[in-house]
C-alpha cells in the first residue's frame, strides 16, 4: 500500500512538472496560429524543447505510476541521463559552496552541501545498476 502511495505521489509531482512545458508550448503554438508571420527559429526551438520536456515528464510519470521502468534495467532514466544529473548536481553544489565562502554566507554553504547527498545517492544507484548489469551479462 505504501509503495502505491509513493508511486502515485511521484506521478503527481512529475505530471506537475510536465504541465509547465506543456503550458508554454500550447501558448506559443496558439500565438503562432493567430500570428503566423511571427514564426522564426527561436520559436521553433522553444516549441521543440517544450515538446521534448513534456514528453519526458509524461513518460517518467507513466513509469513512476506503473512501477515498470526501462526494459533494459527497470530504471526510470537511462544511465547517461543519471550521470548528467550527477554532474549537474555536483557542479551546482561546488558552485554554491564556493559562493557561500566568497560571500561569507552559511546559507549558500548549507544549500550546496544539501546537493551533495542526492548526487551521492544517484552515483550509488548507477554503480549498483552497473554491477547488476555485469553480473547478469
Structural domain boundaries in the chain? 2-66, 79-136
Weakest mean pLDDT among 22-26, 29-33, 50-54, 119-123: 119-123
Looking from the CA of 12 toward its CB, the CA atoms found within 13 Å total: 6
Looking from the CA of 68 toward its CB, the CA atoms found within 13 Å total: 3
All 3 cell numbers of residue 109? 554553504
Give the end-to-end CA distance of the chain in Å, rounded to a whole number: 33
Question: pLDDT by residue (tens digit) across 61-112?
Answer: 888 888 777 776 667 777 788 788 888 888 888 999 999 999 998 998 998 8
Question: pLDDT by residue (tens digit) across 26-36?
Answer: 999 998 889 88
Amino acid at each position: 500500500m505504501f509503495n502505491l502511495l509513493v508511486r502515485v505521489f511521484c506521478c503527481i509531482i512529475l505530471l506537475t512538472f510536465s504541465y509547465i512545458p506543456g503550458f508554454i508550448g500550447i501558448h506559443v503554438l496558439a500565438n503562432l496560429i493567430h500570428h503566423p508571420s511571427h514564426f522564426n527559429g527561436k520559436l521553433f526551438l522553444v516549441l521543440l524543447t517544450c515538446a521534448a520536456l513534456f514528453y519526458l515528464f509524461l513518460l517518467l510519470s507513466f513509469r513512476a505510476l506503473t512501477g515498470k521502468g526501462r526494459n533494459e534495467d527497470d530504471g526510470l532514466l537511462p544511465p547517461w541521463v543519471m550521470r548528467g544529473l550527477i554532474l549537474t548536481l555536483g557542479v551546482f553544489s561546488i558552485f554554491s559552496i564556493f559562493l557561500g565562502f566568497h560571500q561569507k554566507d552559511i546559507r549558500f554553504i548549507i544549500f550546496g552541501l544539501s546537493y551533495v547527498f542526492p548526487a551521492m545517492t544517484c552515483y550509488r544507484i548507477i554503480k549498483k545498476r552497473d554491477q547488476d548489469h555485469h553480473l547478469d551479462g
